Amino acid sequence: MHMSNFCCIFALDFNSDFMKRIVFPLVAAICLSLYSLPTLAWGQEGHRIIAKIAYDHLNQGTRKRVDKILGKQGIIYYANWADEIKSDTIYPTSYDWHFQDFDGGLTDSIVMASLRDYPKEGGNLLRVTDSLIAVIKATKPQELDPHTLRFVVHLVGDRYCPMHTARMDDKGGNAMKMQWFGRNTNLHSVWDTKLIESQGYSYTEYAQKITHTYTHLRRDVEKMSPEELLVGNYHVTEAIYTYQQSWDGNTYHYIYRWKEPMEWQLYKAGIRLAKLLNEIL
């Protein structure tokens, strides 16, 4: 907008017909459309929590190599980079790397089969993550493109985000409207950000809290097969959809029911990211 036009709007009488009939509804429409934009990943805090848990569980040598490639603690600072560049032109096809749609009611064996026979539609999260991991395995750390590692750090996290392995018909929960403390939102957004932010921790505090809670299960998480982990994630997603049908709409009840499963997903993601990097770097 030209500056003189911009100033012109502010010179208008707020009680004028033009403001009431044109400008106010226009501003309201813009605000609403921004508010309802689909979100596409664990939010910033979720990815930072996962990266922090992972960083704290890296072997000394791996941590040095990761720091060298991404900068000191860069694993945390770049944990959200893959989301930030989604609308950029450097990786124009990366939009669908962040999710993998699954139908409801699948058997465990069908879910597991998607790790061998990657689905041809409904996202590319599984195929792309696995192929980027293969690139890291085949490359000397000093020759590795830092972008490859940034993607892996982020996408491994997305695999544990229940609404990233959700259903195509509601756009991974983006089209499932719900209320959160009286405000309109959707299921995807609740799982990406609102549930995590409802706890009011910084990412470092939350990573520490989650680690303290689940540290006795670390070896179990490390021993799980990729199939077991994927099926576990799928079951969480299915349970969320089932709960949605009987939920009474009370946000506190929602938080009470889902806080622990959400923290468990973040823990598994962090531990498995650390295990992966310890193995391949």
Question: Least separation, in Å, of the C-beta of 117 and Zn ion?
Answer: 23
Contacts to Zn ion from residues 154-183, by CB under 5 A: 158
**Smaller CB separation from Zn ion, 63 or 98:** 98
Residue 150 CB, nearest distance to Zn ion (Å)?
11
Nearer to Zn ion, 41 or 187 (CB): 41
User: Which segment (21-29, 76-84, 105-113, 205-213) binds Zn ion by CB under 5 A?
Assistant: 76-84
Q: Which residue is nearest to Zn ion (CB)?
A: 41
Burial class (CB in 10 A: 0-12, 13-18, 19+), 113: middle
Q: What's the maximum distance between 2 C-alpha atoms anywhere in the chain?
A: 68
To the nearest whole angstrom, how small is the minimum distance from the Cβ of residue 190 to Zn ion? 16
Options 97-105, 183-191, 223-231, 243-251: segment touching Zn ion (CB under 5 A) = 97-105
Q: Is 98 in the site for Zn ion (CB under 5 A)?
A: yes
Q: How far is the CB of 273 from Zn ion (least distance, A)?
A: 14
Report if residue 192 touches Zn ion, rule: CB under 5 A.
Answer: no
Q: CB of residue 102 vs Zn ion: minimum separation in angstroms?
A: 17
Stretch that binds Zn ion, among 81-89, 129-137, 169-177, 238-246 (CB under 5 A): 81-89
Residues numbered 193 to 252 that lie near Zn ion (CB under 5 A) are: none
Among 39, 41, 100, 241, binds Zn ion (CB under 5 A): 41
Question: Under the criterion CB under 5 A, does residue 153 sit at the interface with Zn ion?
Answer: no
Residue 128 sits in the site that holds Zn ion (CB under 5 A): no
Beta-carbon contacts of 102 under 8 Å, excluding residues fewer than 6 positions away, are: 111, 114, 122, 165, 166, 167, 234, 237
Q: Which stretch binds Zn ion (CB under 5 A): 14-22, 36-44, 122-130, 242-250?
A: 36-44
Q: At its nearest, how many Å lie between Zn ion and the CB of residue 128?
A: 11
Name the segment binding Zn ion (CB under 5 A); options: 30-38, 150-158, 179-187, 262-270.
150-158
For residues 189 and 195, give the distance between their C-alpha atoms in angstroms, rounded to a whole number: 9
Q: Where do we find the tokens 């892996």?
A: 152
Binding site residues, Zn ion, CB under 5 A: 41, 83, 98, 158
